């Protein structure tokens, strides 16, 4: 899979993409990140990418021409390469969107800066606007890194054989259970007995219970859409009753 990232700071991606799972996947050639320097598509000697907003007001707006040229330089006549713009006004980026994007062969990621991008570029070229949360960051580059990481790890072969995305939070529709490792006792706190029992059925049940418990406490809205078994629903009812009794 190729991520083409259009940005005025193409060097932004150098170090993060050399690390960890994604760095390894890039080295193996499973994914490729192609930073596209927006300034190479400008037409003045100052390599200008922004201008004052029509209508006045604070801040600058990214001008449309270099962005259009940059997108077309990657896309050409093809219409199977989705263009994604990062924006606080976008739809929330989540596991469902990441799984959908992981099936594409190429993506063009457009990183906004300043007050954002001229609306006409959005209307003409952008297929999807994505937000990484209800806050404002200074540019789309961190959002692009988040997307590359979240989508990249879903691509077959990116995670090693001892790693799996299947049981992660959100992949199952709910949050993941807590984890423990050595030592057995740490600062007076013991690892839950069941995890030492070797009884995999009981361990599975404990983990499922903890997942449901933590989701109910922190993100109850996820439970409305999650795929729950009759045993899960019974457990959830018990947990709700317990919470009400407290
Ligand atoms: N004026 C914009 C607003 O109020 O919605 C904020 C612009 S922000 C300073 C500059 C760029 O950062 C945006 O064009 C976008 O590409 C990126 N950005 C900021 N917050 C974001 C978020 N929550 N999700 C995705 N991208 C974001």
User: Could you tell me the residue range of the domain that residue 22 belongs to?
Assistant: 2-152
Q: pTM for this one?
A: 0.95
Q: Which of 53, 88, 176, 219 is catalytic?
A: 88
Say if residue 136 is in the same domain as residue 197.
no
Helices (H) and strands (E) in the chain, counts: 8, 9
Ligand 1 near 131 CB (within 6 A): yes
Residue-level pLDDT at 166: 86
DSSP notation for 57-100: -SS-EE-HHHHHHHHHHHHTT-SSS-EEEEEEEEEEP-HHHHHH
* Per-residue pLDDT band at 183 (split at 50, 70, 90): very high
Our answer to whether residue 45 is catalytic in this structure is no
If you average pLDDT over residues 159-177, what whole number do you get?
A: 87
Catalytic status, residue 124: no
CA of 99 to the centre of ligand 1 (A): 23
Extract the tokens encoding 106. 């190429």
* Average pLDDT score over residue span 83-108: 98
- Verify that 141 and 192 share a domain, yes or no: no
How many domains is the chain built from? 2
Q: Is residue 136 lining ligand 1, measured as CB closer than 6 Å?
A: yes
38 and 128 assigned to the same domain: yes
Asked if 10 and 96 sit in the same domain, the reply is yes
91 phi and psi angles, rounded to 5 deg = -75, 150
Indicate which CATH number applies to the domain containing 74. Answer: 3.40.1280.10
Examine the pLDDT at 195 and tell me if it is beyond 90: yes
Q: Tell me, yes or no, whether 236 and 134 share the same domain.
A: no
- Residue 213's CATH number: 1.10.1270.20
Determine the pLDDT at residue 116. Answer: 98
Work out the average pLDDT over 13-30.
97
- Residue 246: the pLDDT is 85
Q: Rounded to the nearest whole angstrom, what is the distance from the C-alpha of residue 133 to the centroid of ligand 1?
A: 10
Which of the four pLDDT bands, split at 50, 70 and 90, describes residue 160? confident
Q: Give strand pairing partners of 7.
A: 37
| Measured CA distances, 216 to 7, 93, 242, 243 (Å) | 40, 22, 12, 10
78: tokens are 């093809």
Name the region of 116 (left: φ>0; alpha: ψ -120 to 50; beta: rest): left
The percent helix, strand, coil of the chain (3-state, each to 5) is: 40, 15, 40
Q: Determine the pLDDT at residue 163.
A: 76
Residues 49-70 pLDDT 10s: 999 999 999 999 999 999 999 9
With contact defined as beta carbons under 8 Å apart, do 75 and 83 qualify? yes
Q: Which of the residue ranges 19-23, 107-111, 197-201, 240-244 would you say has the lowest mean pLDDT?
A: 240-244
Q: Which of 115, 163, 190, 237 is catalytic?
A: 115
Q: Is the CB of 220 under 6 A from ligand 1?
A: no
The share of the chain scoring above pLDDT 90, in percent, equals: 94
Whether residue 164 is contained in a domain is answered as no
The per-residue pLDDT for range 97-138, each reduced to its tens digit, is: 999 999 999 999 999 999 999 999 999 999 999 999 999 999
Any catalytic annotation for residue 82? no
Q: Is residue 35 located within the same domain as residue 82?
A: yes
The pLDDT value given to residue 101: 98
CA of 28 to the centre of ligand 1 (A): 32
Measure the N-to-C terminal CA separation of the chain; round to a whole number of Å. 51
Selected catalytic residue, list 35, 66, 153, 213: 153
Question: Are 147 and 196 in the same domain?
Answer: no
Helices (H), 153-229: 200-218, 220-225
192 is catalytic: no
């Amino acid at each position: 899979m190729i991520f083409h990232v259009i940005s005025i700071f193409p060097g932004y991606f150098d170090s993060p993409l050399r690390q960890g799972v994604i760095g390894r996947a890039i080295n193996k050639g499973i994914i490729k990140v192609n930073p596209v320097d927006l300034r190479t598509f400008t037409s003045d000697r100052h390599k200008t990418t922004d201008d004052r907003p029509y209508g006045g007001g604070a801040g600058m707006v990214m001008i449309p021409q270099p962005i259009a040229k940059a997108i077309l330089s990657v896309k050409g006549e093809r219409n199977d390469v989705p263009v994604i713009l990062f924006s606080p006004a976008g739809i929330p980026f989540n596991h469902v969107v990441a799984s959908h994007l992981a099936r594409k062969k190429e993506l063009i990621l457009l990183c906004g800066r300043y007050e954002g991008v001229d609306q006409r570029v959005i209307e003409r070229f952008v297929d999807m606007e994505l937000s990484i949360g209800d806050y404002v960051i200074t540019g789309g580059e961190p959002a692009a890194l988040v997307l590359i990481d979240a989508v990249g790890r879903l691509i077959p072969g990116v995670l090693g054989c001892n790693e799996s995305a299947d049981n992660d939070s959100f992949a199952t529709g709910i949050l993941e259970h807590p984890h423990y490792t050595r030592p057995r006792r740490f600062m007076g706190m013991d690892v839950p007995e069941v995890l030492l029992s070797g009884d995999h059925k009981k361990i599975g049940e404990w983990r499922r219970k903890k997942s449901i418990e933590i989701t109910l406490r922190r993100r109850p809205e996820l439970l409305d859409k999650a795929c729950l078994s009759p045993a899960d629903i019974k457990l959830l009812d018990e947990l709700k009753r317990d919470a009400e009794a407290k």
